[in-house]
Structure 1
């Protein structure tokens, strides 16, 4: 343990997912205090079961698409004595999550406005509302950092043939929101530049999450590293972005994609 995050308090949305839960585990191991948020349910319960007994961990239920909940979240957290140095906009709806809600995966022509707008509400509007509340409650009061989580598909087109015959496809609204979140990064980086706040984007590559061997093979052919990544490989870079060592970085997108975006 290097404990490079000792003394830092990190606030993270969508903390119960594959990447989010990895970030929480790794941040706690590095000495950070972690304020984890997510929707109520199995993911939230798993987080609390894994870390609820740790002094450096707190959990709050939060729907980032609910303006009333977002408006009060930092005052609530800070009122409990936890002042976030770093905020991670990590919450996101994916096409797979929509399928998990009992929906079949639509072709683009059959994509409903409801699903499109629900994805925008969480992935992009939610990120905006978290950043806006950070502006109101944190930025300028002490040095702070915002990290927006994008995707390898933020600034690169999806390779649709790799999804042929798979039970899921690349969801259009997901890529659109992930492009938009980097737009939020570069806008805020300049806006907060004189207020001791930095803003960066991390763009994770294809993260393995029990995908089939065939899908792994197809994705691997598009990546210089030849394979999907493990969640801890994304967390390695996230830890740096959360640390004081990244203090001279702002307005940047960091691709952690095994070379996907370089081809």
Structure 2
């Protein structure tokens, strides 16, 4: 897409989403960010609005009717949507519960946010792209949708003072999103809609030293990722520099998956 593209980014006020927003604005995208958290949404728009054309929209991206309504507003205010980036993701109340006792209700909740939202948004925004014969969809995965987590990393690991792990639902939902990516790249390929994925490795965002050291030891480059390094990969796939790339997963993991 060229520098005048109108781009929709779900989860655009999150840790990675806000950095993606910043990067896309500096490349000239007209940007609509969708997030369910009104306070984070306002903070992101206020902080980044001076970089370019940016509007925030609060919505539940698992709801077809809400997403359809938001699409109509975006088209009326910013024009037709050329790029969709599905970055919305979520946790549940019992997200770090062991697999043996992980509640099915929490499983369904996370699957709804991580996978169903991408399906709904791809339906609502992707069909007009296919009808026009041009567009790009980018799904944000996780390294643990590609490989299993090394459970040894989590012994004594914390995030903002809380013990952490990578639950099975996270791996399963992100693996499902990779399957959807491949399917849609074939389904809409003849209509010139490119569908790709970006898979971040571990991104530093407040983990304790134990986690950082153990995770970094598993990475050939010897460190965790910075949010801007993931944002750069997304911006590349959203640009005209990637017009012959579809059905691919750009893994930004410092080399972790070579081992």
Q: What TM-score do you get using the length of structure 2 for normalisation? A: 0.93
- Aligned match of 2:228: 232
1:138 is paired with a residue whose SS is helix
- Aligned match of 2:36: 39
Whole-angstrom distance in 1 between the partners of 2:70 and 2:192: 21
1:127 is paired with a residue whose SS is helix
1:84 is paired with a residue whose SS is coil
Please list every run of at least 4 consecutive aligned residues from structure 1 whose deviation after the TM superposition is greater than 6 angstroms: none
Residue 184 of structure 2 corresponds to residue 188 of structure 1: yes
Structure 2 residue corresponding to 1:69, chosen from 56, 66, 70: 66
- CA-CA distance at 1:136 after TM superposition: 3.1
- Taking a change above 3 Å as real, the CA distance of residues 228 and 213 of structure 1, as seen in their structure-2 partners, is same
Whole-angstrom distance in 2 between the partners of 1:5 and 1:235: 17
Q: Any residues of structure 2 matched to 1:43-58 within 5 Å, and which? A: 43-52=40-49, 56-58=53-55
- Taking a change above 3 Å as real, the CA distance of residues 32 and 113 of structure 1, as seen in their structure-2 partners, is same
Whole-angstrom distance in 2 between the partners of 1:147 and 1:194: 17
Structure 2 gaps, min length 5: 158-162
Structure 2 residue corresponding to 1:148, chosen from 139, 146, 162: 139
Aligned length: 254
- CA-CA distance at 1:35 after TM superposition: 0.7
Whole-angstrom distance in 2 between the partners of 1:68 and 1:108: 33
- Aligned match of 2:197: 201
- CA-CA distance at 1:104 after TM superposition: 7.2
2:231 is paired with a residue whose SS is helix
1:139 is paired with a residue whose SS is helix
- Aligned match of 2:160: none
1:126 is paired with a residue whose SS is helix
Q: Any residues of structure 2 matched to 1:122-133 within 5 Å, and which? A: 122-133=113-124
Residue 2 of structure 2 corresponds to residue 11 of structure 1: no
- Aligned match of 2:165: 169
Deviations 1:185-241 (A, max 9, x none): 111111111112100011011000011111100000111111101001111111111
Whole-angstrom distance in 2 between the partners of 1:112 and 1:71: 31
- CA-CA distance at 1:32 after TM superposition: 1.3
Residue 258 of structure 2 corresponds to residue 258 of structure 1: no
Whole-angstrom distance in 2 between the partners of 1:40 and 1:201: 24
Whole-angstrom distance in 1 between the partners of 2:26 and 2:50: 14
Asked whether the 8 Å contact 1:140–1:196 carries over to 2, the reply is no
Q: What TM-score do you get using the length of structure 1 for normalisation? A: 0.91
Residue 177 of structure 2 corresponds to residue 220 of structure 1: no
Whole-angstrom distance in 2 between the partners of 1:119 and 1:104: 9
What is the RMSD computed on CA atoms of the aligned residues? 1.7
Structure 1 gaps, min length 5: none
- Taking a change above 3 Å as real, the CA distance of residues 104 and 144 of structure 1, as seen in their structure-2 partners, is closer
- CA-CA distance at 1:116 after TM superposition: 0.4
